[in-house]
């Protein structure tokens, strides 16, 4: 059994602490495109030095490029940013954006790609899809159980990386728009303001209802390894070096015990967990979702955060090397140093016969052993010398420095790469708008599409012929089939196009039911599927249905290479991401895209349940209300059939009167998303937007259409 202990490094000192405490690898952010923009992070020059630092200590370094990139960033900045690190020997990049994924595969073919947890990989289908696209590792969704992790490992040849310690996001795999929509600080861009850690109220319950405890999985390490997890990941790039070193040292201890097949003492385990709590905790620890969804025991509810009460010494890691020094009066001094199969030999000046006092052997050995702040220390050092010799200490120091430097060059040369596959930067200020909208000048018919959640909403929309495309969820489809039979949908298909909207989250246990519903829907004239997560698409693509899949906004197409990636996978259409502003949309390939012009934007999808955590689980789907400290109300939909919650924005998103602007950007498919509205409200909103207006009495947010995100 093999395993990797992976530690965070938000700063140079944290990296030293992690490596010194026993990490096999570190993940770091640079000045661009990392999901922790407010961490100290390293400059490109520091990153190049860090790559060498870890390699000399037989470790690895992974760079976070795990934000969503806009067109100008992807095509005009990313290649220049990665090139020096790629050539230096960077071990891998961690990627969320599938446009970035494809770009890196093309421009840096020898650079391993790790698929970020923010991709929301919840099953073997999505994992296999990414493996075929070129990923070597996936960072699994944090909501997965040990059994689900095992299924992915057995169904692919991918390395599996899973979080074993540190903070949890309330939202599925960190896919969250809460901070973005409320304050303009996007988690997708590394600037999350963590509104989930604030106080909220649901019914009579008030507290930090969206704030999970940190995970600690020491006692589960044997089971995690048995499930096939290779890389054990510690969260904490915003944490202090002492925290990183302390947590890493504890996990190093227990991982080694696991790999050696040894048990540990329960009392020692308790003391070590107490030590970890002293380093940092939010009202204690939990074990996350590895054993299922424990509900309220995962949530802090109260602000009991504790940090930094336990001193930790930062140690620097050194590799043992062997040395052989030969001193003779008739030849130049020779020093040979070796480590891990690498050997370097350097020569100095010829020692002299001592006129008075010869140099002492111990003095020579002591001087050579003074490796200082290098990556090495002598484990074995042999000296072969004639008697009565003299050699200046300065020459011994020079010999040692030259030998260490030569050995470093030998080691590091194995990691160096030539430049990547250079490509033309296909987006510049001159060709953005004109070329991007070449097709947009054509006159096209506007298509109005609408989705719904309830029977009342469906009845309102189905009676409106100008809504040309209708989308309904699986439970509603099954309800209508039970009441009116499949002939109802067959008749509808003669007059309108209708689609099945799949759940926001799909886990392996749900796939059989989804397949049956999709097959039945197609037999009744369904034109395709609205797909909302990676596992759904990969599963349907495996059935040969990729070409009738429309991707919801959560399957991000921030940039044109992401659009192209999905086209290569066979997807038919795409929902425009919510965070791009008007100018950025004008520079995006919108040829197959829908623009949502009305709807409550989902801020969070969560495996946690507000109903379960504040009262009790009764298995009944419902709409709850979550209030923040300003009394703003956020509707929460409990999806009990698949056991997840959707937290919606307090105001609906709306773009009344924007049709001319949108058509100018090549957007002629408009989408109305109905979730919380009554049947009467649904009709009123739909009729108004069909006229290109906003309904009276409704207050909207235009989201990021004007401001965008940094």
Choice among 95-109, 351-365, 595-609 with the minimum mean pLDDT: 351-365
- For residues 454 and 388, membership in a common domain is answered with no
- For residues 268 and 342, membership in a common domain is answered with no
Q: What is the pLDDT of residues 176-187, one digit of tens each?
A: 999 999 888 988
Nearest to 62 by CA among 94, 36, 101: 94
Q: What is the pTM of this model?
A: 0.94
Choice among 36-40, 93-97, 207-211 with the minimum mean pLDDT: 36-40
Asked whether the beta carbons of 376 and 57 are under 8 A apart, the reply is: no
- For residues 131 and 23, membership in a common domain is answered with yes
Name the domain boundary from 394, 413, 432: 413
**Cα(453)–Cα(319) distance, integer angstroms:** 61
CA dihedral 271, 277, 278, 282 (to 10 degrees): -160
- For residues 397 and 521, membership in a common domain is answered with no
Q: How many CB atoms lie within 10 A of CB 312?
A: 21
Tokens for 317?
């890691």
- For residues 250 and 362, membership in a common domain is answered with no
**Cα(326)–Cα(219) distance, integer angstroms:** 52
- For residues 408 and 451, membership in a common domain is answered with no
pLDDT band at 443 (very low <50, low <70, confident <90, very high): low
- For residues 42 and 88, membership in a common domain is answered with yes
**Cα(49)–Cα(61) distance, integer angstroms:** 11
Nearest to 51 by CA among 414, 322, 345, 318: 414
Mean of the per-residue pLDDT values for the chain? 93
pLDDT band at 204 (very low <50, low <70, confident <90, very high): very high
Q: What is the pLDDT of residues 276-285, one digit of tens each?
A: 999 999 989 9
Name the domain boundary from 272, 291, 309: 272
**Cα(385)–Cα(134) distance, integer angstroms:** 56
Most confident segment among 275-284, 356-365, 524-533, 608-617: 524-533
Range of the domain at 527: 445-599+658-690
**Cα(352)–Cα(587) distance, integer angstroms:** 74
- For residues 256 and 330, membership in a common domain is answered with no
Q: Is 499 helix (H, G, I), strand (E, B) or coil?
A: strand
Q: β-strands 319-328, 285-286: how paired?
A: unpaired
Asked whether the beta carbons of 142 and 186 are under 8 A apart, the reply is: no
The pLDDT assigned to 423 comes to 57
Nearest to 410 by CA among 345, 318, 497: 345
For the chain, helix (H) and strand (E) counts, in that order, are 24, 34
Q: Is residue 706 part of a domain?
A: no
Q: What is the pLDDT of residues 301-325, one digit of tens each?
A: 988 887 876 778 899 999 999 999 9
Q: Is residue 358 part of a domain?
A: yes
Q: What is the pLDDT of residues 632-669, one digit of tens each?
A: 999 999 999 899 999 999 999 999 988 889 999 999 99
Q: In the 8-state DSSP scheme, what is residue 117?
A: G
Q: What is the pLDDT of residues 671-690, one digit of tens each?
A: 999 999 999 999 999 999 99
Tell me the CATH number at 245. 3.20.20.70
Q: Is residue 346 part of a domain?
A: yes
Q: Is residue 300 part of a domain?
A: no
Q: Cite the DSSP H helix spans in 341-454.
A: 361-368, 393-413, 432-436
- For residues 333 and 465, membership in a common domain is answered with no
- For residues 460 and 595, membership in a common domain is answered with yes
**Cα(639)–Cα(144) distance, integer angstroms:** 18
User: What is the average per-residue pLDDT within 174-197?
Assistant: 90
**Cα(558)–Cα(279) distance, integer angstroms:** 38
The pLDDT assigned to 498 comes to 98
Q: Is residue 609 part of a domain?
A: no
Q: Is residue 535 part of a domain?
A: yes
**Cα(160)–Cα(310) distance, integer angstroms:** 32
Asked whether the beta carbons of 251 and 179 are under 8 A apart, the reply is: no
Question: How many domains would you assign to the chain?
Answer: 3
Q: What is the pLDDT of residues 474-489, one digit of tens each?
A: 999 999 999 999 999 9
**Cα(580)–Cα(704) distance, integer angstroms:** 6
pLDDT band at 426 (very low <50, low <70, confident <90, very high): very low
Q: How many residues does the chain have?
A: 710
- For residues 330 and 389, membership in a common domain is answered with yes
Name the domain boundary from 365, 389, 413: 413
Q: Is residue 343 part of a domain?
A: yes
Task: Report, in this order, helix, strand and coil percent for the chain, each rounded to 5.
Answer: 35, 25, 40
Sign (positive or negative) of CA dihedral 197, 203, 205, 206: positive
Give the CB-side neighbour count of residue 584, counting CA atoms within 13 A. Answer: 23
**Cα(177)–Cα(179) distance, integer angstroms:** 6
Q: Is 145 helix (H, G, I), strand (E, B) or coil?
A: coil
- For residues 408 and 461, membership in a common domain is answered with no
The pLDDT assigned to 568 comes to 97
Q: Is residue 177 part of a domain?
A: no
Residue 177 CA: distances (Å) to CA of 197, 577, 675, 702: 14, 11, 17, 14
The pLDDT assigned to 706 comes to 87
How is 386-402 classified by DSSP, letter by letter?
-SSEE--HHHHHHHHHH
The pLDDT assigned to 676 comes to 95
Share of the chain above pLDDT 90, in %: 84
Asked whether the beta carbons of 376 and 318 are under 8 A apart, the reply is: yes
Asked whether the beta carbons of 241 and 17 are under 8 A apart, the reply is: yes
Supply angle C-alpha 288, 292, 293, rounded to 5. 70
Strands in 258-341 per DSSP E: 280-282, 285-286, 299-301, 305-307, 319-328, 331-339
Q: In the 8-state DSSP scheme, what is residue 176?
A: B
Q: What is the pLDDT of residues 5-50, one digit of tens each?
A: 999 999 999 999 999 999 999 999 999 888 787 778 899 999 999 9
User: What is the average per-residue pLDDT within 209-231?
Assistant: 97
**Cα(40)–Cα(136) distance, integer angstroms:** 28
């Amino acid at each position: 059994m093999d395993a990797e202990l992976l530690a965070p490094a938000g700063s140079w000192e944290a990296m030293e602490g992690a490596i010194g405490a026993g990490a096999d690898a570190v993940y770091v952010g640079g000045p661009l495109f990392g999901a922790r923009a407010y961490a100290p992070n390293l400059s490109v020059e520091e990153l190049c030095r860090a790559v060498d630092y870890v390699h000399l200590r037989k470790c690895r370094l992974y760079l976070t490029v795990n934000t969503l990139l806009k067109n100008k960033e992807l095509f005009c900045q990313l290649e220049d940013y990665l090139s020096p690190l790629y050539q230096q020997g960077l071990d891998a990049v961690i990627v969320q954006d599938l446009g970035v994924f494809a770009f890196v595969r093309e421009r840096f073919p020898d650079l391993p790609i790790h698929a970020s947890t923010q991709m929301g990989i919840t099953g073997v289908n999505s994992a296999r899809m990414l493996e075929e696209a070129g990923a070597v590792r996936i960072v699994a969704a944090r909501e997965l159980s040990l059994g689900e992790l095992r299924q992915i490992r057995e169904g692919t040849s991918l390395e599996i990386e899973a979080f074993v310690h540190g903070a949890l996001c309330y939202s599925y795999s960190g896919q969250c728009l809460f901070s973005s929509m409320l304050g303009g600080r996007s988690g997708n861009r590394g600037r999350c303001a963590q509104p989930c850690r604030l106080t909220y109220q649901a019914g009579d319950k008030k507290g930090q209802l969206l704030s999970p405890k940190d995970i600690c999985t020491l006692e589960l390490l044997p089971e995690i390894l048995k499930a096939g997890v290779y890389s054990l990941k510690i969260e904490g790039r915003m944490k202090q070096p002492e925290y990183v070193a302390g947590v890493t040292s504890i996990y190093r201890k227990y991982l080694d015990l696991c790999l050696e097949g040894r048990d540990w003492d329960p009392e020692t385990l308790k003391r070590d967990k107490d030590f970890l709590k002293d380093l940092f905790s939010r009202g204690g620890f939990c074990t996350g979702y590895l054993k299922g969804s424990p509900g309220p025991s995962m949530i802090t509810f109260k602000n009991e955060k504790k940090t930094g009460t336990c001193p930790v010494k930062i140690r620097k890691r050194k590799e043992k090397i062997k040395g052989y020094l030969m001193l003779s009066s008739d030849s130049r001094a020779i020093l040979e140093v070796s480590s891990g199969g690498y050997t370097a030999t350097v020569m100095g000046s010829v020692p002299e016969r001592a006129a008075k006092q010869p140099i002492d052997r111990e003095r020579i050995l002591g001087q050579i052993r003074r490796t200082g702040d290098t990556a090495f220390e002598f484990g074995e050092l042999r000296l072969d010398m004639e008697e009565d010799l003299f050699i200046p200490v300065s020459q011994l120091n020079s010999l040692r420095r030259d030998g260490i430097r030569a050995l470093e060059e030998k080691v590091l040369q194995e990691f160096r790469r030539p430049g990547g596959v250079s490509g033309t930067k296909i987006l510049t200020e001159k060709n953005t708008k004109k070329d991007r909208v070449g097709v947009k000048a054509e006159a096209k018919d506007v298509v109005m599409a609408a989705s719904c959640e309830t029977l009342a909403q469906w009845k309102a929309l189905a009676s409106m012929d100008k809504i040309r495309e209708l989308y309904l969820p699986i439970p509603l489809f099954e309800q209508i089939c039970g009441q009116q039979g499949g002939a109802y949908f067959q008749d509808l298909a003669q007059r309108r196009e209708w689609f099945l909207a799949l759940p926001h989250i799909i886990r392996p246990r749900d796939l059989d039911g989804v397949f049956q519903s999709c097959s039945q829907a197609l037999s009744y004239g369904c034109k395709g599927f609205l797909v909302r997560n990676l596992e759904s698409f990969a599963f349907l693509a495996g059935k040969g249905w990729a070409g009738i899949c429309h991707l919801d906004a959560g399957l991000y197409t921030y940039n044109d290479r992401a659009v192209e990636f999905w086209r290569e996978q066979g997807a038919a259409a795409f929902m425009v991401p919510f965070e791009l502003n008007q100018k950025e949309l004008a520079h995006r390939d919108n040829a197959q895209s829908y623009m949502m012009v009305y709807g409550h934007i989902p801020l969070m999808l969560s495996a946690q349940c507000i109903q379960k955590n504040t009262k009790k689980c009764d298995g009944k789907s419902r709409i709850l209300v979550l209030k923040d400290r300003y009394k703003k109300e956020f509707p929460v939909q409990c999806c009990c059939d698949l056991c997840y919650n959707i937290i919606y924005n307090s105001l609906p998103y709306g773009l009344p009167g924007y049709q001319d602007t949108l058509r100018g950007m090549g957007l002629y498919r408009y989408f109305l998303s109905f979730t919380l509205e009554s049947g009467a409200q649904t009709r009123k909103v739909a009729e108004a937007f069909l006229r290109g207006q906003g309904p009276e009495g409704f207050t909207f947010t235009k989201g990021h259409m004007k401001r965008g995100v940094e």
